[in-house]
Amino acid sequence: MSKTILVTGGAGFIGTHTCIKLIESGFDVLVLDNFSNSSPESLKRAESITGHSIPFIEGDINDAALLDEIFAQHAIDVVIHFAGLKSVGESVQQPLRYYHNNVSGTLVLCDAMQRAGVKNLVFSSSATVYGDPASLPIGEDFPTSAINPYGRSKLMIEELLADLYRADPEWNIALLRYFNPVGAHPSGLIGEDPAGIPNNLMPYIAQVAVGRRAHLTVFGGDYPTPDGTGVRDYIHVMDLAAGHVQALLWLEHRRGIKAFNLGTGQGYSVLDMLKAFEQACGKSLPYQLAERRPGDVASCYADPQLAAKELNWRAELDVQAMCADAWRWQSENPDGY
Ligand code: WQD
């Protein structure tokens, strides 16, 4: 009997790619999404990629009655919780919206899970909980801190889940700290489709390459890094999706709560990524150097050993694959979904 996974935010960038990997690994999937930053189209395309239906419910994780209905009507074994707002800049402008959506939404979800006796949870956390690391690579035992409401919401959720586990050790919780998810499914049918002007580097570069943006603005060329531009641990979204399947398997034979870095362990600068994308798209991409972006750290990359050891998971796809797959998606879908 296959297990049923409730995937909140499952129509989003990481959610859709993870649903594909879950189905390919033999799990049944049910998506809950309010489509505030995604569209049902991404799920339709994921269905055509897998040849399986992906049932979804349009709704909000803050809707307790809806959640009770879902748990009453479906035998959910595990919840993978992606649903959340994720723009650093927007969170600074609209902190209450971020705390209501991310933190209160998680509380309402956990209440409903507790009422239904479903206590297996994979939470979509972020490397942003490490703040500005004192050294590199970053291990899961590093001190955590937040420098913006988005990051604080992720940290608050990690801490409330730890309290929940301490109060009720029947809970099984994996906190997955993503580094920088990029790329797309190799089919080119699904990919990253941010609303408005992209906050993140790679979708912005892809939109320059496809002619939607005039040039890339490089935020800062005077960081203490090899070429002066910011260094990050970019990870292919398909590798990230595979990490969620391994986390589900880990939950099956464990009790407890644990954080895992999902990164490659390799840092690349802004200019490294720009050059890699130029090779992928076969064009020279214009950029302008500008001031540092407030809140950015110079360098951030993972020590991925714990996930390798305990989740039996390692990132396998390189920067060339990240750029080639992102370009295929963007060039075949210039205006997104
Ligand atoms: C990467 C690098 C920028 C845009 C954030 C969140 C993190 C996760 C990923 C949600 C930095 C530079 C960027 C641009 C640029 N989000 N840059 N020009 O800030 O590392 O992480 O997004 O889960 O939680 O904190 O990612 O892609 O915004 O920036 O020069 O137009 O690219 O300065 O060095 P970041 P990013």
Q: Is the pLDDT of residue 1 over 80?
A: no
CA distance 201 to 217: 9
| CA 23 – ligand 1 centroid, Å | 30
Rounded mean pLDDT, 79-85 = 98
Catalytic residue (one of 98, 150, 268, 301): 150
Q: Which amino acid is at 74?
A: H
Q: Which atom of ligand 1 approaches the CA of 178 most closely?
A: 23
Instruction: State yes or no: is 178 an active-site residue.
Output: no
CA–centroid distance, 217 to ligand 1, in Å, is 12
Average pLDDT over residues 118-123: 98
Question: What is the rounded average pLDDT of the residues 39-53?
Answer: 97
Ligand 1 centroid to Cα of residue 132, in Å, is 14
Which residue is closest in CA terms to ligand 1's atom 22? 200
What domains are defined for the chain? 4-183+234-265 (3.40.50.720)
Q: What is the per-residue pLDDT for 2?
A: 82
Share of the chain above pLDDT 70, in %: 100
The pLDDT tens digits of the residues spanning 315-336 come to 999 999 999 999 999 999 999 9
Tell me the sheet residues that pair with 257.
173
Mutation pick for ligand 1 pocket among 180, 202, 218, 323 (CB with most ligand atoms within 8 Å): 180
Atom of ligand 1 nearest to the CA of 205: 31
Q: Is the CB of 87 under 6 A from ligand 1?
A: no
Predicted confidence band of residue 89 (pLDDT cuts 50, 70, 90): confident
In this predicted model, what pLDDT tens digit does every residue of 206-215 receive, in sequence order? 999 999 999 9
Q: Mean pLDDT across the chain, nearest whole number?
A: 97
Ligand 1 midpoint to CA 230 (Å): 9
The pLDDT assigned to 254 comes to 83
121 membership: H or E segment, kind and range:
strand 120-126
Count CA atoms within 13 Å of residue 115 on its CB side.
14
Q: Which residues contact 188 (CB under 8 A, 6 or more apart)?
A: 325, 328, 329, 331, 332, 333
260-299 pLDDT tens trace: 999 999 999 999 999 999 999 999 999 999 999 988 999 9
Distances (CA, A) of 152 to 84, 191, 237: 13, 27, 24
Q: Rounded to an integer, what distance in angstroms lies between the CA atom of residue 152 and that of residue 176?
A: 16
Mutate-to-test residue for ligand 1 from 296, 297, 301, 322, highest number of ligand atoms within 8 A of CB? 296
β-pair type (56-58, 28-33):
parallel
Q: Is the pLDDT of residue 177 over 90?
A: yes
- What is the model's pLDDT at position 197? 94
For 179, residues 6+ apart whose C-beta sits below 8 A from its C-beta are 127, 232, 233, 234, 235, 261, 262, 263, 264, 300, 301, 302
Distance (Å, whole) CA 219 – CA 293: 6
Average pLDDT score over residue span 144-159: 96
**Of 48, 36, 19, 128, the residue nearest 83 (C-alpha):** 36
Instruction: Write the single-letter amino acid at 300.
Output: C
pLDDT over 90 at 83, yes or no: yes
Instruction: pLDDT band for 53, please (50, 70, 90 cuts).
Output: very high
